[in-house]
Amino acid sequence: MKRILVTGAAGFVGGHVLPLLAASGARVVGIGRGAPRDLPAGVDYERIDLLDEAALSGFMARFRPTEILHLAGLASVGESATGPGQTWRVNVNGLMNLVAAVEAVPGCTLFFVSSGEVYGGAFLAGHALSEEAEPLPRNTYARSKWVGEQLLRDLLPRIGVKLVVLRPFNHIGPGQDERFVVASFAGQIARIEVGRAPPLLEVGNLSSYRDFLDVADVAGAYGDLIGRVESLADGSVFNISSGVPRTIASVLDGLRARARVQFEIRVAPERVRPSEIPLAAGDATRLREATGWQPRVAWDDALARVLDDARARLAPTEG
């Protein structure tokens, strides 16, 4: 039986991937700093901070995972710009502790969740990029992920642990917080609808093209790859992306069409990122060929899920 460890399991993606992995018949344990909102049946969870090296090593020696899905880390590009020291501390020091702990389980496979952000300046080519494109990261978050990839390529072969690198692009869905653009739009709309905010929605740059997936499809890709671990070459890299770039303006239009009230739009300078890449999209051909994976959630349904979730979060405080 597979024994799958999911780090950062209490986060946005963890809540979607844990039930999929549990349904595969594997024994699944999540770890993280916080408590998960809903723990699926058949999944165990322990509160362990990756910066606590002793606790992490003790857990690893007890559980002895066959696969590790490393979701843990600071994931906000904007947050990394204002707090770069914390980003490096969590994303790299925590990863180093994980490597030290995994020495106890040679033969396992580490699925490292990097990011499509690592491509950075390579996106200036103006088309969807494959894994063959040379990463040219342009922000602290992306650099921390790219360093993580290189660190693992150096260290894991020495301890007999296989590496698979996952580069997801933008993903949206229930449970995402408002540091991310689509969740921010949906949250603002939900508050406007119930009169908790004036009919004014604040935005950043709307002209950029980005590659979006529903989080359920991202979780599905992770599950598909873990299920085929034996066939994956050590050091494999997989983009997880739709290959369909959409303007942020079109995303907002889709949410606006579903809103129950009218509102105005205002560009807020603090929401406009410097050095914005005009188009960022990924080619997931390699993933499709390896697993047969395809996005299953229609784009309109993905937007509806985000907006419905934003409304539901307000419901306990209403009335």
User: What pLDDT was estimated at residue 85?
Assistant: 79
* Phi-psi sector, 72: left (phi>0), alpha (psi -120 to 50), beta: beta
Residue 317 — pLDDT band, cuts 50, 70, 90? low
Domain boundaries along the sequence of the chain: 3-171+213-240, 174-210+244-280+297-317
User: What pLDDT was estimated at residue 188?
Assistant: 98
| pTM (predicted TM-score) | 0.94
Question: CA dihedral in degrees (59, 61, 63, 65; nearest 10)?
Answer: 110
Cα separation, 114 vs 282, whole angstroms = 14
247 beta partners: 209
* Nearby residues of 187 by Cβ (< 8 Å), 6 or more positions away: 178, 310, 313
CA 186 to chain centre: 18
Cα separation, 99 vs 82, whole angstroms = 27
User: What pLDDT was estimated at residue 74?
Assistant: 74
Residue 319 — pLDDT band, cuts 50, 70, 90? very low
User: Helices 248-258 and 181-193, interaxial angle, to 10°?
Assistant: 30
The DSSP 8-state label assigned to residue 9 in this structure reads T
List the structure tokens of 57. 């090593």
User: What pLDDT was estimated at residue 272?
Assistant: 84
Q: What is the DSSP string of 270-300?
A: GGSPTT--SEE-B--HHHHHHH-----S-HH
**pLDDT tens, position by position, 206-264:** 999 999 999 999 999 999 999 999 999 999 999 999 999 999 999 999 999 999 999 99
Q: Look up the CATH superfamily of 174-210+244-280+297-317.
A: UDP-galactose 4-epimerase, domain 1 (3.90.25.10)
**pLDDT tens, position by position, 62-93:** 999 999 999 998 766 656 556 677 888 888 99
Query: What is the CATH architecture of 3-171+213-240?
Result: 3-Layer(aba) Sandwich (3.40)
How far the first Cα of the chain sits from its last, in Å, is: 48
* Nearby residues of 124 by Cβ (< 8 Å), 6 or more positions away: 277, 278
Are 221 and 208 contacting, i.e. CB atoms less than 8 angstroms apart? no
Distances (CA, A) of 32 to 46, 275, 291: 7, 33, 28
